[in-house]
């Protein structure tokens, strides 16, 4: 019982801090990291050493899968060029840049381990960046690019990491074999992800049970990850999970039931909230264990701190060095790209460059470094790699994370899609309403029994209502905005639902209806209130 108390304390503390951050409208990941840093040095706080196997298996697959489910396959396909340049090009560029820098500063660390460190700190963790971007109104395309990058860059970095670690352990390295391993891992991961997604969608079609479908969904990321990472194939589990999530998420509107989709949103929001809270709290809590394990050897601690700070600067500036040319050079050399996708203002690549916070994948990879070489001797420099990784992760999360919202506002990079979205939705709602009314007319024309006029009128009103609501949202939205008829309807109906719910509870308390009756009626009231509510 006692051994479970630290875990319980971690869960309760992480959730409590995240809840407070949400309540006051600040970035929960950043507050969790800072809180973890402070708590790690409190007396009596145990060492929360991150198990890399737990981090990569327990945290990474569900978080990636959930992000893939919510991502736009259409949006990612439309932005394959910038996403590919960031998730593959920027990661490999950063790996090489950091590897060469660290090897020049600490030559006794060795070239393979220096490049392993480069691969470890290369992939940004876009959880914090995308959450900040959505909160402050970053344009949707930029959020899509950051999210798409985060879905793939871990696969690139972990593949490069494995090649470098194999060389560090006494193996040989060649550029050709490294490229071959990368291609095999990528293609294999994509193929396995597609197979898993196809099997899961086929199983769901047979089951048609929302509870079982969502239980299967919770298991899917782990199946996809382990199937790709098993010892016989050694492909990319990250890409397998991402491809499975994108495939299933893209097909969900056609293949899943309304009950499955409603449950799925609630389930994955809860999973994301819990896992992200624990992950970012753990990042902060690692400080003491990393510092205590550091063995500077013949080097002064001040020199190691200087190397860690310089590495962080290289990581941050290296992203700028890559992003700006990757943004403008393709348009300079290709007129087709320039016509199809005109060059953005300099503020756009600047924000994308600054949104490069590192996260749990970097720490998990660093902790996953082997303790010994192939001959059984301790791996020299492992503790130094851990320390530098921790400094990079913490500095980028705190420095870039806390300044990113203000930077976005100061540069004026705000979304302008609301009016266009409302107009597109209104047109789509009108098309859907017209199609629904035409279908109603067809059904009435072949009906063998008379359908009462009031039923037909109610069906017509319901079909036209959603289109009317969408057109009304195109009106004024300023402080002098007049309440629309549908706004008034939603406001008054919510008050009526609250009274109805109170009466049903009172009837249950006095024994006039059973709890089963209350639950059945309350579900109907809750569903109606959910329809009335709009984010």
pLDDT value at residue 173:
61
Residue 271, domain member (yes or no): yes
Please tell me whether residues 528 and 408 are part of one structural domain: no
**Whole-structure pTM value:** 0.81
Please tell me whether residues 126 and 268 are part of one structural domain: yes
Neighbours of 448 (CB within 10 A): 4
Confidence band, pLDDT 50/70/90 cuts, at residue 90: very high
Q: How many helices (H) and strands (E) are present in the chain, helices listed first?
A: 25, 0
Whether the per-residue pLDDT at 41 is higher than 90: the answer is no
Please say which residue of 416, 442, 467 terminates a domain. 416
Tokens of 33: 């990291």
Residue 487, domain member (yes or no): no
Closest CA to 533 of 491, 502, 498, 501: 491
Per the model's pLDDT, the better-predicted residue between 243 and 380 turns out to be 243
pLDDT value at residue 1:
40
Please tell me whether residues 41 and 159 are part of one structural domain: yes
Please tell me whether residues 218 and 349 are part of one structural domain: yes
Please return the burial class of 447, using the count of CB atoms within 10 Å of its CB with bins 0-12, 13-18 and 19+: exposed
401 vs 211: CA distance, rounded Å: 38
Please tell me whether residues 367 and 279 are part of one structural domain: yes
Please say which residue of 360, 392, 416 terminates a domain. 416
Residue-wise pLDDT tens digits, 62-81: 988 998 888 888 888 889 99
CB 467, CB 460: distance < 8 Å: no
Q: Which residue has the tokens 């990850």?
A: 225
Residue 166, domain member (yes or no): yes
Please tell me whether residues 393 and 432 are part of one structural domain: no
Please tell me whether residues 427 and 528 are part of one structural domain: no
Residue-wise pLDDT tens digits, 133-144: 777 778 888 888
Residue-wise pLDDT tens digits, 431-475: 887 888 888 888 888 887 888 888 888 888 877 777 777 666 666
Residues 18-30 have a mean pLDDT of: 85
pLDDT value at residue 417:
56
Residue 116, domain member (yes or no): yes
Please tell me whether residues 434 and 395 are part of one structural domain: no
Residues 336-340 have a mean pLDDT of: 88
Residues 477-501 have a mean pLDDT of: 76
Per the model's pLDDT, the better-predicted residue between 460 and 415 turns out to be 460
Please return the burial class of 253, using the count of CB atoms within 10 Å of its CB with bins 0-12, 13-18 and 19+: exposed
Whether the per-residue pLDDT at 412 is higher than 60: the answer is yes
Residues 510-528 have a mean pLDDT of: 86
Please tell me whether residues 355 and 453 are part of one structural domain: no
Whether the per-residue pLDDT at 423 is higher than 70: the answer is no
CB 161, CB 361: distance < 8 Å: no
Confidence band, pLDDT 50/70/90 cuts, at residue 477: low
CB 390, CB 287: distance < 8 Å: yes
Phi, psi for 372 (deg, rounded to 5): -130, 160
Please tell me whether residues 46 and 122 are part of one structural domain: yes
Whether the per-residue pLDDT at 345 is higher than 70: the answer is yes
**The 3-state secondary structure of 94-106, one letter per residue:** HHHHHHHHHHHHC
Residue 488, domain member (yes or no): no
pLDDT value at residue 42:
86
pLDDT value at residue 531:
78
Tokens of 75: 């949006």
242 vs 210: CA distance, rounded Å: 22
Residue 81, domain member (yes or no): yes
Residue-wise pLDDT tens digits, 108-127: 888 889 999 999 999 998 66
Q: Which domain holds residue 511?
A: 493-535
Query: 272-296: b or e for each residue (b if 16 or more CB lie within 10 Å)?
Result: bbebbbbbbbbbbbbbbbbeeeeee
**The 3-state secondary structure of 148-173, one letter per residue:** HHHHHHHHHHHHHHHHHHHHHCCCCC
Please tell me whether residues 422 and 411 are part of one structural domain: no
Residue 101, domain member (yes or no): yes
46 vs 255: CA distance, rounded Å: 47
Residues 6 or more apart from 459 whose CB is under 8 A from it? Answer: 440
Per the model's pLDDT, the better-predicted residue between 164 and 419 turns out to be 164
CB 121, CB 315: distance < 8 Å: yes
63 vs 279: CA distance, rounded Å: 10
Whether the per-residue pLDDT at 205 is higher than 90: the answer is no
pLDDT value at residue 240:
94
Residues 406-412 have a mean pLDDT of: 88
Residue-wise pLDDT tens digits, 221-268: 999 999 998 888 888 898 999 999 999 988 888 777 878 888 888 899
Per the model's pLDDT, the better-predicted residue between 480 and 520 turns out to be 520
pLDDT value at residue 535:
40
Give the number of domains in the chain: 3
Please tell me whether residues 338 and 468 are part of one structural domain: no
pLDDT value at residue 248:
93
> At 295, which CATH number?
1.20.1530.20
């Amino acid at each position: 019982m006692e051994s479970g108390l630290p875990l319980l304390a971690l869960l309760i503390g992480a959730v409590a801090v995240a809840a407070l951050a949400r309540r006051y409208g600040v970035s929960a990941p950043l507050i969790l990291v800072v809180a973890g840093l402070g708590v790690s040095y409190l007396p009596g706080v145990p060492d929360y050493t991150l198990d890399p196997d737990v981090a990569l298996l327990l945290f990474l697959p569900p978080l990636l899968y959930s992000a893939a489910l919510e991502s736009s396959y259409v949006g990612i396909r439309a932005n394959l060029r910038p996403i590919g340049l960031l998730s593959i090009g920027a990661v490999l560029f950063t790996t090489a840049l950091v590897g060469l820098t660290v090897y020049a500063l600490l030559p006794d660390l060795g070239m393979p381990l220096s490049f392993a460190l480069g691969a470890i700190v290369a992939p940004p963790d876009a959880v914090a960046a995308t959450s900040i971007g959505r909160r402050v109104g970053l344009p949707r395309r930029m959020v899509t690019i950051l999210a798409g990058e985060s879905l793939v860059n871990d696969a690139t970095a972990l593949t490069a990491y494995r090649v470098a670690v194999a060389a560090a352990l006494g193996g040989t390295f060649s550029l050709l074999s490294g490229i071959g391993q990368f291609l095999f891992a990528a293609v294999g991961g994509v193929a396995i992800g597609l197979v898993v997604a196809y099997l899961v969608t086929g199983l769901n079609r047979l089951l048609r049970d929302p509870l079982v479908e969502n239980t299967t969904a919770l298991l899917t990321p782990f199946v996809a990850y382990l199937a790709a990472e098993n010892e016989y194939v050694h492909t990319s589990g990250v890409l397998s999970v991402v491809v499975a999530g994108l495939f299933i998420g893209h097909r969900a509107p056609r293949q899943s039931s309304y009950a499955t989709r409603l449950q799925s949103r609630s389930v994955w929001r809860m999973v994301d909230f819990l896992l992200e809270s624990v992950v970012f709290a753990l990042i902060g809590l690692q400080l003491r264990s990393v510092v205590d394990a550091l063995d500077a050897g013949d080097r002064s601690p001040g020199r190691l701190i200087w190397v860690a700070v310089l590495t962080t600067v290289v990581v941050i500036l290296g992203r700028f060095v890559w992003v700006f040319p990757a943004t403008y050079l393709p348009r300079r050399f290709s007129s087709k790209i320039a016509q199809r996708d005109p060059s953005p203002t300099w503020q756009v690549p600047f924000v994308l460059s600054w949104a490069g916070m590192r996260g749990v994948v970097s720490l998990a990879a660093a902790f996953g470094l082997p303790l010994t070489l192939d001959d059984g001797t301790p791996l020299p420099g492992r503790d130094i790699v851990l320390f530098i990784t921790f400094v990079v992760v913490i500095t980028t999360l705190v420095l870039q994370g806390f300044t990113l919202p203000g930077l976005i506002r100061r540069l004026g990079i705000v979304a302008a899609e609301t009016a266009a979205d409302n107009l597109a939705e209104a047109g789509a709602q009108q098309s859907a309403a017209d199609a629904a009314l035409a279908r109603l007319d067809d059904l009435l024309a072949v009906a063998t029994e008379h359908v009462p006029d009031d039923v037909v009128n109610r069906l017509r009103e319901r079909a036209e209502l959603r289109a009317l609501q969408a057109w009304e949202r195109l009106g004024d939205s300023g402080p002098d905005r007049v309440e629309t008829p549908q706004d008034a309807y939603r406001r008054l109906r919510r008050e009526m639902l609250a009274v109805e719910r109170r009466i049903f509870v009172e009837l249950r308390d006095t024994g006039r209806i059973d709890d089963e009756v209350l639950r059945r009626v309350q579900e109907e009231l809750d569903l109606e209130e959910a329809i009335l509510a709009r984010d």
